[in-house]
Amino acid sequence: MSRDRRLRVTFDRAAAIYQDARPDYPAGLYSDLLAVTGLETPGNLLEVGCGPGKATLPLARMGFRITAVELGDALAAEARHRLADFVGVSVITSSFEDWRPPTGALFDLVYAATAWKWVDPQVKYAKAAALLAQGGHLAVWDATHAFPPGFDPFFTDIQQVYDEIGEGDGGPWPPPAPEEQTDPNAGEFEASGHFTVVGARRYLWALRYTADQYIVLLQTFSGHIAMEPSIREHLYREIRHRLAARPDGLLTRHWSAVLTIGRRL
């Protein structure tokens, strides 16, 4: 397993704060998901890597039946707590790779929200396809930091700190604007030989954060969770210092979500 995928176990340490710290996915994303796939309740959905239920709750509230698979013990427990009122939702503690579905189980939709990249690429597409009914769909989406024109200069400033502490990614700065980026999953869908892409949408929004709120958010990201504690505390002090110099003490972070939908071949 690559080092990047080994980091997937770190999220369990953020189980208590993840749900409230991470942004909700746009309502339009769910509307587009249903429009493209033609899903109707109650349906039969499988979620890969549900975390504490960030993307499970909106679909459960619509009345879908959902089997949610989550690797982390603490995250799965948090999801069960938050989804306890939905009798059609079950949460299973397992990696998607190791999970053994009931014999003959088939789903109308397999989906993953900010989790698909953590699944073994040698397994995920073939296994998802095998679990889909005829005409079923695979949908994946994420929520990443976006840098549209005019993004908050705080991030250029704090990037220097990341570079100084050896936590920069080595890429160009600033990163490409959202409209300059290609769908990160469409090529994989097609190359898998199991799916054809039938829909792709990008969503962009912005949120304001205090220093405390932003640091809590950072504590849900694998790279920050895995950071050496003294380095992480230095970074957080620098964030507080820079935001304290602003009259309102706030930063603006842009988010981008890309929804990719494939139909099983």
When the pLDDT of each residue in the chain is averaged and rounded to a whole number, the result is 96
User: Is the separation of the CB atoms in 86 and 116 below 8 Å?
Assistant: no
Please choose, from the candidates 40, 60, 113, the residue with its C-alpha nearest in 3D space to the C-alpha of residue 259.
Answer: 113
Percent of the chain with pLDDT over 90: 95
CA 255 to CA 153: how far, in whole Å?
15
Q: Which two tokens stand for residue 164?
A: 């100084």
Residue-level pLDDT at 3: 46
Residues 58-105 pLDDT 10s: 999 999 999 999 999 999 999 999 999 999 999 999 999 999 999 999
Bridge-based pairing state of the strands 132-141 and 107-113: parallel
Give the mean model confidence (pLDDT) for residues 190-218.
Answer: 98
Give the SS3 label for residue 44. strand
Q: Is the peptide bond before 23 cis (omega within 30 degrees of 0)?
A: no
Bridge-based pairing state of the strands 132-141 and 144-146: unpaired
User: Is the separation of the CB atoms in 145 and 207 below 8 Å?
Assistant: no
CA 203 to CA 148: how far, in whole Å?
12
Q: Is the pLDDT of residue 34 over 50?
A: yes
The DSSP string of 112-152 is: EES-GGGS-TTTHHHHHHHTEEEEEEEEEE--EEE--TT--
User: Is the separation of the CB atoms in 149 and 177 below 8 Å?
Assistant: yes
Domain ranges of the chain: 3-144+176-206+255-264
Residues 223-250 pLDDT 10s: 999 999 999 999 999 999 999 999 999 9
Task: List C-alpha distances in Å: 112 to 195, 206, 227, 265.
Answer: 15, 22, 26, 19
pTM metric for this prediction: 0.95
CA 257 to CA 261: how far, in whole Å?
13
CA 225 to CA 211: how far, in whole Å?
17
Q: Which two tokens stand for residue 69?
A: 């698979």
Cβ of 130: how many Cβ atoms within 10 Å?
12
Residue-level pLDDT at 169: 85
CATH class of 3-144+176-206+255-264: alpha beta
